[in-house]
Amino acid sequence: MSLLEVLILIAIFLCAIPVSLAITAILLSPIVLIMVLINKVMHRSN
């Protein structure tokens, strides 16, 4: 592997990390919102 190929791979990884974090956050946010809503409903009923 040449130095250029290594630099391209590093650049791809640096771009992929925030993208994967953003996708994870988008997928997890509805679950977190549902859990918060359930907690609020449970606290109101008590």
- Per residue, the 3-state secondary structure of 5-36, as one string, reads HHHHHHHHHHHHHHHHHHHHHHHHHHHHHHHH
pLDDT the model gives residue 1: 77
Q: Indicate the number of domains in the chain.
A: 1
Q: Which two tokens stand for residue 45?
A: 């009923």
Per-residue pLDDT tens over the stretch 21-35: 999 999 999 999 999
Q: Which domain holds residue 27?
A: 1-46
Sign of the Cα torsion 26, 31, 36, 41 reads positive
Separation of alpha carbons 29 and 20, rounded Å: 14
* pLDDT tops 80 at residue 4: yes
* pLDDT tops 70 at residue 46: no
* pLDDT tops 90 at residue 17: yes
pTM score, two decimals? 0.51
